[in-house]
Amino acid sequence: MKKLVLCITSAVVFWLTTFTAFAETAGFASESDAVVSAHTPYDKKYVGIDWHTSIGETVGVPIAYKEFVLLPTLNKVNKLSEEDGSVVASAEFDEKVSEEYSGAVVNNTLVQPTKTSVYVVNTEDMNVACSRKFGEITTDISVDDAFAYFGFKDGDKFKFCCADISKNLETVWEYTSENAVTPAAKIGDAVVFGTGDTLVAVKNGEFIENPVGAEISRIFAGDYAVFMSCRNGELRKLRLDEDGKTEEGSLSQVLLGAELTAPTGIDNHIYVGSADGFFVVDGLNMEITKKFEELKNSSPPFVTVGNGVRAYIAVPHSDSSGDSWYLYSVLDSDDVQSASEIIKILDYTNGKADVSESGKMYFRDAKGQVWTISETKTNIFVIVMKIVLIIAIFVMILLILKTWAKKRQEKKPPEY
């Protein structure tokens, strides 16, 4: 049996309005958070490795933040320079960081999970503001102006919690379930998450349970609907009305295959991987528009739009040098849907990624290293020198031909 516990009145819980920018929200599985408008690598000829960290024993999920990257490692979070990876400052904890689940940043505040606790850190000076032990953390953390949202396991029960960041992570509300919970998304002014075969919407201090007919593994909220990767291999879609309840007749699905990744998307173009390939789905009609059968068992995609709409995934391959992974860019435009190999990654098993607003991409591999890549910049001087060299070669060829023609003319017998 599911039960819900409302810890304070709804008047205190929800005064938040719809979010529209990264500066106001972070970490939600929603279109406004999931899509980055950055110029990221799109061709293997124009990608460079900027720097990488050394092999780590316990390394969490890197978080791009302004001109830095926040890297959880061992029992601390290092604030690294985006430029060269040097450590600028650190925050130390009483427990090792979570390797699986990501923290989030808003208003110069990092909310970072360890294995059983949550820490609040000032990202300017990296001082710990507060922390609280909850239980085994089981989801990424999402943060808005006032609250943090996450799941944890307490004994044999799973809980989804809203905690007040400014009040030592005091519980605002808590939902308890027999089933694991997914990370949070936002649609309109409702916080949503999945548990079992139910999509739960939290709105105006109430928990609205919306059965979807299949066990949910991950969710993604577009502007008008919630998309759910389900354990039966289906991608399901559900629209909610203003009260957070299922809009009549809005539940639909498309079968994609086994072991779906978390979905993501933009403008009703939904991207999701499976053991059978990588899919582009028309979110309006829930129809497959493109399947890349060669891109099986990919990592969860993330989307950038600086060089066209591109979904990035890492995919395992076996070649003459052994097993390895490759990063792919899947271009999705009105004219073409194509996949391009970007760079080889030796081992990305259970890897984690993030991308900054400046276009740098961070990948934590299976060895606990973080690799930083970016689109190589055009060198005007080199281009000019190449043009000058081409012109010089062309002029030299003309002079050689002219000299050859003159000598040939001189050797020609006189005409009578």
Q: Which of 216, 175, 212 is CA-nearest to residue 195?
A: 216
Could you give the CA distance from residue 181 to residue 398 in angstroms, rounded to a whole number?
73
Domains in the chain: boundaries: 382-408
Q: Which of 295, 350, 339 is CA-nearest to residue 317?
A: 295
- The answer to whether 239 and 250 have CB atoms below 8 angstroms apart is yes
Q: What value, to the nearest 5°, has the Cα angle with vertex 355 and ends 130 and 100?
A: 55
In order along its 416 residues, the chain shows pLDDT tens digits of 343 433 332 332 222 222 223 333 489 999 988 899 999 999 899 999 999 999 999 999 999 999 999 999 999 999 999 999 999 999 999 999 999 999 999 999 999 999 999 999 999 999 999 999 999 999 999 999 889 999 999 999 999 999 999 999 999 999 999 999 999 999 999 999 999 999 999 998 799 999 999 999 999 999 999 999 999 999 999 999 999 999 999 999 999 988 999 999 999 999 999 999 999 999 999 999 999 999 999 999 999 999 999 999 999 998 777 789 999 999 999 889 999 999 999 899 999 999 999 999 999 999 999 999 999 865 444 456 667 777 878 778 877 877 777 666 666 555 54
Instruction: Indicate the Cα dihedral angle 265, 268, 269, 275, nearest 10°.
Output: 70
The token pair that represents 181 in the structure block: 């919970």
- The answer to whether 216 and 251 have CB atoms below 8 angstroms apart is no
* Contacts of residue 367, Cβ cutoff 8 Å, sequence gap at least 6: 55, 56, 346, 347
User: In sequence order, what are the beta bridge partners of 211?
Assistant: 198
Residue with tokens 């919970």: 181
* Contacts of residue 150, Cβ cutoff 8 Å, sequence gap at least 6: 101, 113, 118, 137, 139, 140, 141, 142, 160, 161, 163, 183, 184
CB-based burial, 67-89: b 16+ in 10 Å, e otherwise: ebbbbbbbebbbbbebeebeeee
C-alpha dist (Å) from residue 357 to 102, 365, 393: 18, 21, 42
